[in-house]
Chains A and B, each alone.
Chain A
């Protein structure tokens, strides 16, 4: 046994200390690499976008002439897309989570379903695009419409919505469930009056994070045929559309240098939208944590 009175005056051996210090420097470097690269990228984008980010840029439709080109149809397209995707994915995803958590019998079938949902969350998004093209665009004859895109996006984020909603529902203390059932409540009454209100913030946080992934997705929408030149605002779910990342992609792939600046400006717009969504998610989460602490 080590003798405290003998050791207490000395110090950790120089060798052990050196290893620790060296590793600390390495970890710091690893952290900084990521940060620095990100900062350089951001600065580069902002510099390129400078002067192109004008009110006109936000208010104009795309154009062959860079000076007149704007991002209006893409912004509206993205807003439509996100709203529709949410409208589809939230009820389906939360419903599935409620079923899996509260109704399904535990057993191998449930485990298989659970594992597959987790796997689906990792499937490359372009595969969802192929599925959407075959199922919604061609088979269901929805064409290259907003609704076909939204259905595809909803499929894409569904696994994440289901998993985060399941976690939020599972976090409700089991005592609440038992207490309610012991009063003669049906399962649905427990879900409606206790589980959903108590997990709403958690579910919403997950949904917003999933939607902010969807808003940056390009591949699936390219697959189902979103247009890159749209000079109108969609007015219904059957209209064709474009979205921010596709507009950016289109500008970035043009040879003229002016369009590179437009792409950068588009990226800034997309980043702002993403930041707003993430800030909303964080605010919600903090509120949830505060409520948990009170409990």
Chain B
């Protein structure tokens, strides 16, 4: 397990269960978390190792190694075109759909190599995604949530599922009287929260969000950020954002990318107050990008 990234080693040493394919151990996590550094101690959920990615002949990601911790919010920041979305889409194999795209390296989730040991459909079922542009289905609010669960074999009470997911996405109160309405009649911010609810309905363990607030006004953004902070209790969240303040408000760890490379990944507070790299500092101070 050789890697240039010191963070990966650090985390692996702290968490004996990472990488050996053990299922999530809820009982173990609290005991591991000592009182002194509770914030830093957690299991590694996603482990990216020496990842290279090409669109045709154009390399979009270069030798990325990164560990993403369970039940934490990890933010990806960096100038436009640096590969944040590309990396995010590598994590649930959405890039498989792009003709001519090629990937090298490994991505492990709970120790399982998602590219070699898994079917892309299964991977995506466990790793939800919320897109930059809200993309609800042109069906009722209710159907938007139930559909994903149904195709994945959900057999419980759909009414309960709809209410639970809408509550988790902080949308329930606004739509509870009009669940039969077409989702296209919702506002942009409501549509985005519906997309989160839709993703939660298939009970993923990880939620990937690509600039989920970019189409939203400040109030909707605040609501969305509150939703994300709530989600952290149960889900591992990775969020791409251009908004430095947002990264600071919602994330526990932040990774800074620059032209397809990972420059550094540290606890968010540290990255914004004491960045290790000059380029990170320049970027967060607004000197480029």
Contact = CB atoms under 8 A, between A and B. Distances in A.
Majority-rule SS of A interface residues: helix
Contacts of B131: 175, 178-179, 182
Contacts of B121: 184-186
Given A106-B99, A182-B128, A294-B182, A176 B151 contact: no
Contacts of A105: 99
A141 interface: no
Contacts of A179: 131, 135-137, 195, 198
A198 B138 contact: yes
B268 to A, nearest CB: 26
B265 to A, nearest CB: 24
Interface of B: 92, 94, 97, 99, 121-122, 124-126, 128-129, 131, 133, 135-138, 147-148, 151-152, 182, 184-185, 195, 198-199, 202
Contact of A176 (B137, B148, B185): B137
Interface residues of A, number: 21
8 contacts: A175-B135, A179-B131, A179-B135, A182-B199, A183-B125, A183-B202, A295-B138, A295-B184
Interface of A: 105-107, 173, 175-176, 178-186, 189, 193-194, 198, 294-295
Nearest to A193: B147
Nearest to B126: A184
A185 B131 CA distance: 16
A185 B151 contact: yes
A184 B131 CA distance: 15
A183 B195 contact: no
A173 B135 contact: yes
Contacts of B199: 182-183
A106 B56 CA distance: 13
Max chain B Cβ within 10 angstroms of own Cβ: one of A176, A179, A194, A198 = A179
